[in-house]
Amino acid sequence: MSLRSFAAPVALATLIACLPGCGAMKFASSEPAGQDSVAAGNAAFDQKDYGRACQELSKAGAGAGAETLTRAGVACAKAGQDKAETSFKAALSANPAYAPAMEGLGQTALSLGDPARARDVLEAAAKAGGHDPRAAMALGDAWLLSGQCDKAQAAYQDALRRDGGLSQAKSRLEATRLLCGTKKASGASAATPASGATSPGYSGSTLPSGSTQPAAPASAKDPGKPAKPATKTIDLNDI
């Protein structure tokens, strides 16, 4: 056998032996950092496995971009995890004008019992072009918790303009019209939250109602005076 005929098989064998290692190195170098987590997180989100989606998408890091980080926040919020606020803030760090991240942050603030902050963030989201109907409904809830009936009505109407089939917004609008209309008819000021009230739609809050009530019985101490009627409340989770 000549030297040339012997060298050819050896070179071919060496090339074949190298292929698995070379292929692995090429795959590792072409895969962006965090790409596996994003893919796994998106797949879990599509399957409504929000706990896993939150876990995976939260690993993506700041370089993942505002859209991915906002999706992480939505997944964490749906899973009831505390990472939601962190993810929305990270999304806004990546893009301060990204309306969906503002909407998510505002709704999170409301769920944490901070309606004043929720109002500020959700109004900024609307100005930035936000169009999520549930964000508009959350803004209405925040205004209602603050005793601003007219602004709450406007926010609920905006939610229905965005999605006419959003039944919760319709129920809240009807209840708020009843509340505000009765308050105006009686000459009272705008409604104020009941003591200890928290965010409606998130943790069972109640608000004072101006609904017409039956005449109260006379006070035992002063027969000439009717007893003060007890404050009636509306639980917005039930409407």
Residue 113 burial (CB count, 10 A): 15
Is 128 exposed, middle or buried, given 0-12, 13-18 or 19+ CB atoms closer than 10 A? middle
144-153, 171-180, 207-216: least confidently modelled range = 207-216
Question: Do 36-95 and 97-185 share a fold?
Answer: yes
Q: In the predicted model, what is the mean pLDDT of the chain? A: 74
Distance CA 74, CA 54 (A): 8
Predicted confidence (pLDDT) per residue in 7-64, tens digit: 444 444 443 344 444 433 333 333 454 578 899 999 999 999 999 999 999 988 778 8
Does the domain at 36-95 match CATH 2.40.70? Answer given as no
Confidence of residue 192 (pLDDT cuts 50, 70, 90): very low
Helix (DSSP H) and strand (DSSP E) numbers for the chain: 10, 2
Q: 208, 192 in Cβ contact below 8 A?
A: yes
Q: 212 in helix, strand or coil? A: coil
Question: Which amino acid type is present at position 124?
Answer: A
Domain boundaries, the chain: 36-95, 97-185
Does residue 150 contact residue 198 with C-beta atoms inside 8 Å? no
97-185 CATH, one of 3.40.50.720, 3.30.365.10, 1.25.40.10, 3.40.50.300: 1.25.40.10
- Check: CB of residue 170 under 8 Å from CB of residue 143: no
